[in-house]
Amino acid sequence: MGVHFGVSVFFVFCLVGLSANAKVFNIGSPPGSDITKALLKAFTEACQAPTKSTVMIPKGEYKLGEIEMTGPCKRPIRIALQGTVKADGNLINGKEKWVAFRNIDGFKLNGGGVFDGEGNNAWRSNNCHKTFNCKKLPISIRFDFVTNAKIRGITSLDAKHFHINVIGAKNMTFEDVKIVAPAESPNTDGIHVGRSDGIKILNSFISTGDDCVSVGDGMKNLHVERVTCGPGHGISIGSLGRYSHEQDVSGIRIVNCTLQETDNGLRIKTWPSAACSTTASDIHFENIILKNVSNPILIDQEYCPWNQCNKQKASTIKLVNISFKKIRGTSGNKDAVKLLCAKGLPCTNVELGDINIKYNGADGPATFQCANVSPKLMGTQVPKACSSPVTKPPK
């Protein structure tokens, strides 16, 4: 008994010591109030604290205006969102973000709470999916130059534009993240990453109106695993080549994911008449389940939405070391596989292994199209590889 009592006292003493060293900053605002100023004040104080700190947003609904939480901070910082923060539902033009985290090292965001972008009114006026000359709408959550970070157990609901945008990040993990918006909500990409190194997206559910995960230029070492996507536009590398000064993309791995009822599946898209000459390499898709997915496998080097480019000039984006392995399930249209590479720069070292995609529509059977590529084939191929005449890709 004496030994047991001593160990218990020592254990309690350790817990008390840890609690004393971890400072908690509460926003101190009642549910229903606007917490923009209170949150910024709490974050600023926590950021300058000499010990690890937590900013606490308790359960309840709160209003939250445009906010930037910027480091560097003295020690690692956590934001525990337990409640729901709601954006202004009115259309906000010219704004680039709603909530932004910038220049923070050792950052955590968790707590099981919700970022509600209140995007319904904005979607009705959004024409960015039809023209580039459109009014900007705010991205719900931006992570700019955030390093050694873990985002876990949060929900993004009804973003006006992208749900989550990541740029300039290093060693960042998203896990158990839920993203939800209607299938008809335009430009509501789930998680967009670019110009970052070492990003993981794990065990997450993304159901939205655009790409579930989209990869921009300069992305290196992205690992996506156990993500369920749909509805939406699938998982996309690109589009690449629209702007000058773009950077190479490399080390992309999409594994053990499920796509359901999406407009596209696994897609790589580059612009013809590209404004730059870059390389996208080492891109691998493996062990993917498809459930009524249109255009399940698509390389499109003539990506030109709404004909806003010169298709007569071939893409100058080089695609190297691409693989699709163990891709199986059902297609929502007959275009099961389309590998449409550029004339000037044919895709090199493309591998396909154990492809089994079925289509039961009246206009079937499923097709497998190839242009400017000679893929290496392994295992079974259903439909038969490169057996169909080439048709134009979808918009």
Q: How does residue 392 score in pLDDT terms, banded at 50, 70 and 90?
A: low
Q: Which domain holds residue 248?
A: 23-272+283-301+320-325
Q: In this structure, are residues 145 and 72 in contact, taking their beta carbons and an 8 Å threshold?
A: no
Q: Write out pLDDT tens, residues 262-301.
A: 999 999 999 998 889 999 999 999 999 999 999 999 999 9
Model pLDDT, residue 132: 64
Catalytic residues: 233
Model pLDDT, residue 124: 85
Model pLDDT, residue 128: 67
DSSP-derived secondary structure for 42-76:
HHHHHHT-SS-EEEEE-SSEEE---EEEE---SS-
Tell me what percent of the residues of the chain surpass a pLDDT of 90. 82
155 within some domain: yes
Model pLDDT, residue 9: 34
pLDDT(85) > 50: yes
345 within some domain: no
Question: Mean pLDDT across the stretch 328-352?
Answer: 96
Q: Write out pLDDT tens, residues 296-329.
A: 999 999 998 877 777 778 889 999 999 999 999 9
Beta bridge mates, 67: 99
By residue count, the chain amounts to 395
198 within some domain: yes
Question: Mean pLDDT across the stretch 324-349?
Answer: 97
Using only C-alpha atoms, the chain has a radius of gyration, in whole angstroms, of 23
Q: How far apart are CA 163 and CA 393, in angstroms?
A: 27
CA 328, 332, 335, 340 dihedral sign is negative
In degrees, rounded to 5, the angle at the alpha carbon of residue 116 between the alpha carbons of residues 38 and 28 is: 20
Count the domains in the chain.
Answer: 1
Q: How does residue 16 score in pLDDT terms, banded at 50, 70 and 90?
A: very low
Model pLDDT, residue 7: 35
In degrees, rounded to 5, the angle at the alpha carbon of residue 354 between the alpha carbons of residues 348 and 359 is: 105
- pTM of the entire structure? 0.93
Model pLDDT, residue 51: 96
Question: Mean pLDDT across the stretch 253-265?
Answer: 98
16 within some domain: no
Question: Mean pLDDT across the stretch 359-367?
Answer: 93
384 within some domain: no
Q: Which residues contact 134 (CB under 8 A, 6 or more apart)?
A: 126, 127, 128
CATH number of the domain that 232 lies in?
2.160.20.10
Question: Mean pLDDT across the stretch 28-54?
Answer: 98
Cα dihedral 224/218/304/320 (nearest 10) = -70
Q: What is the mean pLDDT of the chain?
A: 91
278 within some domain: no
Least-confidence region, from 9-23, 83-97, 291-305, 368-382: 9-23
Least-confidence region, from 66-75, 172-181, 331-340, 382-391: 382-391
162 within some domain: yes
Q: Write out pLDDT tens, residues 182-211.
A: 999 999 999 999 999 999 999 999 999 999
356 within some domain: no
